[in-house]
Amino acid sequence: MSVSVSLSSLPLSHQQNQLHAHHSLHSPPMSVLRRLTLPLPLHVHRRHHNSHSFNNHRLFSLVAAAAVRQDTAIWTQAPISLIETAAESLFHVAINVSDSPDLALSHTRAGQYVQLRVPEVEKPSFLAIASPPSQAAARGEFEFLVKSIPGSIAELLCGLRKGDVVDLSQVMGNGFDIDRISPPEEYSTVLIFATGSGISPIRSLIESGFSANRRSDVRLYYGARNLQRMAYQDRFEDWESSGVKIVPVLSQPDKSWTGETGYVQAAFSRAKRILSPKSTGAVLSGQRQMAEEVTSILVADGVSSERMLKNF
């Protein structure tokens, strides 16, 4: 194992988020691996002119913060232990961190992420950890769900093979703060929303356990273009047995599909069924427009924004 500290500056550009079915939250880097760019904060593009300078100040602050993260990243070399197809344009990638126990044990909460560099490319990407923290502790392995975008670092990563070595930063981010929707008896309804590869940190959340089976209503609205682009279908049965009702939502299904269609936010609006807003929490990961619209719907129905968890 070798460790190095990078002090190079971080080039940044405006995010072009493209998460198939609903593009694009994409929630900042923490939800999926993609090109290293800095998304505008959710408050940018407000309506009146006076907010413009404030939002520019926020953007500058976020740019500076991202540069600091890059400059102070501690890099650890680790080999790839698995690369395989997860769905159309999506890949399962596992990285062996068993020789770096401190790195493995620093993954403590679903929704955290790392930066990753592929060989001979200095520019890093952000990668949400899809596996639960217990897996890192028990097996010394991080798993990821990676969308291969032509011309991106993600595409380079998905082109590597088992045994190839990549650089990982320390684990970053606060992840999903489940304490904000605890205890389960008090927050009996949890609504989870994910689009595209934004399902990655949601898998970590579900498999980490958040007392779903002690809550009366836990739903996952999971959006993708079609079933061919929907990862983790082989895990749905286990997720449902843990207390999470899966609601797949397809924006471009084939003619045989009889489930929910359109966008996640529209499917939720049709269903709603929020019996007690004060006892309702939400988790959002994926496309930006989806997150904004779902947030607006929930707030209008009386759900506190303090009970809406995001991993960024």
Is residue 170 within 8 A of residue 114, CB to CB? The reply is: yes
Q: What is the dihedral of CA 178, 291, 39, 230, to 10 degrees?
A: 90
Q: What is the pLDDT of residues 77-128, one digit of tens each?
A: 999 999 999 999 999 999 999 999 999 999 999 999 999 999 999 999 999 9
pTM exceeds cut of 0.85: no
127 DSSP β-pair partners: 114
Output the pLDDT for position 70: 53
Q: Is 127 helix (H, G, I), strand (E, B) or coil?
A: strand
What mean pLDDT value characterizes the chain? Answer: 83
Output the pLDDT for position 235: 98
